[in-house]
Structure 1
Amino acid sequence: MDHTDAYVSALTAAVENFNRFYIRIPTRERLSFTTLSVLDTLAAADGPLRLTELTRTEQLSQPGLTQLVSRLERDGLVERRPDPTDRRATLVRLTAAGRRVGRSRHDDRVRHLAPLVARLSPADRTALARALPVLGRLVELDREAEDNQPSVKLSGTVEAVPAAEPETRRRDADRTRKCLLEAAFDEFSTRGFAGARVGEIAERAGVNKQLITYYFGGKAGLYRALQRQWLDREAEFADPDAPIAELVLRYLHHMLADPRGVRLAVWRALSDAAPIPPSTAESDLATTRARQDRGEVAADLDPAAFQLAVIGMVAAPVLLPDMVRDLFGIEPRTMEFEERYGEQLRRILAHLATAENPEGEDE
């Protein structure tokens, strides 16, 4: 890999890491990523778009996109009308309500990012400001390349791009799987495994429900894939060698940013129908014992009890949001609460590292 390749690879990794955090910033609008992508595309367009254009930009099947647009129209977020230049074609555009969704998400993200940017050093803020025009130029270059993509003229006025290359088909398949997993996360965390419907998952993802069987082997396979995806995400931030307080605060941040994982666990506890995830108890307890050996956790504490208590402390704001509002007087999914509660968790864990045996208790 030459210097340019290494630079582009580092840029790609940085954008991917930021995007994983950015797309999960808490917002008031709970919509699937596929739905938001369509709304964002329509918002960025100069005018209404044809269904065929959306099919290409969103990389969805025509039936899947039609189902999604129909649902958005029922919700009052888009409207359809015949194309005056071709009565066979349909134009889609945002309604005022659809535009409000986009503005609301933008405002929510600004409120979340502003205090984080404020914590950067002056030099970092200057570097960030200088990078913004360059990132915008990359977007422009991509659009120019897309506009210059060659097409093949067919009969009449219809044009089509050449047949997709294997790499393009692979990317389309990856996108479909990601859309299905994201839609499944929404559906399973809202209704549980037993109450979830594959048809609703497919509609959320904007694809044919037969693709769930094709890619995952059915509802149970999709649920297991979701469990594996969570373990993969967890591995990205759950460094067993990180200080216990730092690790717990990472879990708190991720659970507040995306509470669906906690809700999924609650549904699984309420129903025996869901596939059981692979157990990590043995490795988790071994990690806690190692922390006891290092003096991070008091030696007299039961590792299993400690593990359960910490999980409870981290999950409590998601499970008991009303109690958070009553006790703290603020919303649980805000930066103010995360910082205030996180600092208290840090102090609690510091006390647990120095606990002593109760008087008279044997070693």
Structure 2
Amino acid sequence: MKRAYNFNAGPSALPLAVLQRAQQELLDFRGTGMSVMELSHRSKEYDEVHNRAKQLLKELMNIPDTHDVLFLQGGASLQFSMVPMNFLTDGRVGNYVLTGAWSEKALKEAKKVGETHIAASSKEENYAYIPANESIQLSEEAAYLHITSNNTIFGTQWNEFPDADTDLIADMSSDILSREIDVAKFALIYAGAQKNLGPSGVTVAIIRTDLLERIPENLPTMLDYRTYSTSNSLYNTPPTFAIYMLSLVLEWVKEQGGVGVIEKRNQEKAGVIYAAIDESDGFYAPHAKKDSRSLMNITFTLPNEEVTKRFLAEAKERGFVGLAGHRSVGGCRASVYNAVPLEACEALAQFMKEFPKYFG
């Protein structure tokens, strides 16, 4: 079986061992005679899957008892609306740090709900860096400070999270579980699963439970975090197969040795590709400034559009998938999420070293 070198930005690579386990259990899940997709979400068998996923996430991320884990749908894009609907109450201001397209979209949705304020931004340099923490200027009556921890399009990542004098909320869709963090620092973390947690279809929210007391009454039921917290995310039919896959990915992370081991591996993987960029005498130009570089999404440009097209065509011939950059940056992007093996990164780096000699 030949597997592609999968550098897709999302949905992205899943661990081979997880796919093989799902394949083994697809037709008969643990002696039920049914696929996990066919199980009732009220059944004992699915209940074990659901609660195991929650327990593993709490264990791997060291989530304190002050926080609850919710499984939702709609991706991070729905969270852009849910966050202000639940927490941007009258007289308060939603504060946003702009570091890319997704933070812009989050701000756009918040403006529909209430008053907002841009606390810091790197837009003037096409989001090539993360603003320094000391540059963040909160508004008066701040309801929360919203950040995007990793920016898939621009290849930047927060290395040090702000110590804000308000509740810190983070969209961690593209780097959750990729490094150790202090969850207690955050009032709310949310993430679409399709980068590091599993397949698309489920969104994880880690919420400090005292925030639930601030939610206004009369919100639509499915847009109210309390609905999911009080029902163990089982108010309606959850994305059961996606949660099952999430549980398998979490088992895999645990088997690897935990998030600390994954983080060191991610540093090594990214380092291999960044070295190929930095040692290319300018043939590959990084988009992100060095102190803001992402371990998940590595963005770079080539001398011109013609060379870029030749690079991508040759890369495809060699089995590399998903390397085209976003139109906002151009060039190329290698997304090296948890499930992308070191061997794939080494193969890409070797190709990058060879390309200027033979195809540049």
TM over 0.5: no
Higher relative contact order (CA 8 A, sep 6+): 2
TM-score range, shorter chain: under 0.3
Taking structure 2 as the reference length, what is the TM-score of the superposition? 0.23
Bigger fraction of residues in helix: 1
Q: Which has the larger radius of gyration?
A: 1
